[in-house]
Amino acid sequence: MTPLPRLLLVEDHPELSLWIGRALRQAGCDVVFAIDGKEGELRLREGGFDLVVLDLTLPKRPGMALLRELRTRGDATPVLILTARADVADRVEGLRAGADDYLPKPFDLAEFEARVQALLRRPKDLRQDLRTIGGLSFDARQSAFYRDGAPMPLPKKEAALLRLLFERPGRAVSKEFLYEQVLDGASSIDNVEVIVHRLRKRLEACGVRISTLRGLGYMLERAA
């Protein structure tokens, strides 16, 4: 027997939460509820979801913070944002933070169900292969980078170095390791700094940065 898709609904409005949950269950989904940001955080850390439906305006912890932490951990679970914030700037911020879709309130239930089904149809292996930090995404299957969803072509060495950092979000990667993997001893180790400098300029518009940790190496993280 095929298991039901498992969804996490993080919504603090009781009536809306029950209404959405009922519709999802009728559509054949197993729904887990979280009524505030703290509970949503705990559920997200447990993992095992096929889709997260996330409100942004939550008590105890904002939804945007939950989304950013999820992506920083390298979790590619699809996220559909529901929010009363309909401004373009808010939508862009949500998408840059790693949301897969955005639906402003109030919304039509049929449209909501269609968007949920579209995200659930995305193959799981593709979900795992696509990772996002800020406005920067990396498709491991295609070995391609994207900025805010648009292709971001990079020179070979810059792409190789960025991939190594992307595969280790929030962790320091030594300069020596990057030198061995990217330059293969073909030039001076100081050229690692040159490549990092070029990447930093390219990443300014992505909401991410390469930090230098003295004595440890470099780390890719969201920009403050």
Return the CATH number at 111: 3.40.50.2300
Mean pLDDT of 179-199: 89
Mean pLDDT of 141-151: 78
Q: Are 54 and 111 in a shared domain?
A: yes
Q: Is the pLDDT of residue 53 over 80?
A: yes
Which of helix, strand or coil describes residue 118?
A: helix
Tell me which of 61 and 74 has the higher pLDDT.
61
Q: Would residue 205 count as lying in a domain?
A: yes
Give the model's pLDDT for residue 93. 73
CA gap 155, 47 in Å, rounded: 35
Q: Are 71 and 149 in a shared domain?
A: no
> What own/partner pairs with CB < 8 Å and gap ≥ 24 does 156-164 have?
157/182, 157/183, 157/195, 158/195, 158/198, 158/199, 158/202, 161/192, 161/195, 161/196, 161/199, 162/138, 162/199, 162/220, 163/138
* pLDDT single digits (tens) 66-125: 988 887 776 778 899 988 766 666 676 777 777 888 888 888 888 899 889 888 886 554
Q: Are 106 and 150 in a shared domain?
A: no
Provide the token pair at 161: 């170095």
Determine contact, residues 173/217, Cβ cutoff 8 Å.
yes
Q: Are 118 and 137 in a shared domain?
A: no
Domain-terminating residue out of 70, 98, 122? 122
Q: Are 137 and 118 in a shared domain?
A: no
Give the model's pLDDT for residue 87. 65
Total number of domains constituting the chain: 2
Give the model's pLDDT for residue 102. 85
Q: Are 75 and 113 in a shared domain?
A: yes
Mean pLDDT of 10-27: 91
Q: Would residue 16 count as lying in a domain?
A: yes
Q: Is the pLDDT of residue 126 over 50?
A: no
pTM over 0.75: no
> ∠ at Cα 175 (178, 177), nearest 5°?
40
Domain-terminating residue out of 64, 93, 122? 122
Determine contact, residues 216/174, Cβ cutoff 8 Å.
yes
Give the model's pLDDT for residue 48. 86
Domain membership of residue 49 as a residue range: 6-122
> ∠ at Cα 52 (24, 10), nearest 5°?
80
Average pLDDT of every residue of the chain: 85
Helices 109-120 and 14-26 pack at an angle, to 10 degrees, of: 60
Give the model's pLDDT for residue 2. 62
Q: Would residue 1 count as lying in a domain?
A: no
Q: Are 204 and 140 in a shared domain?
A: yes
Q: Are 14 and 95 in a shared domain?
A: yes
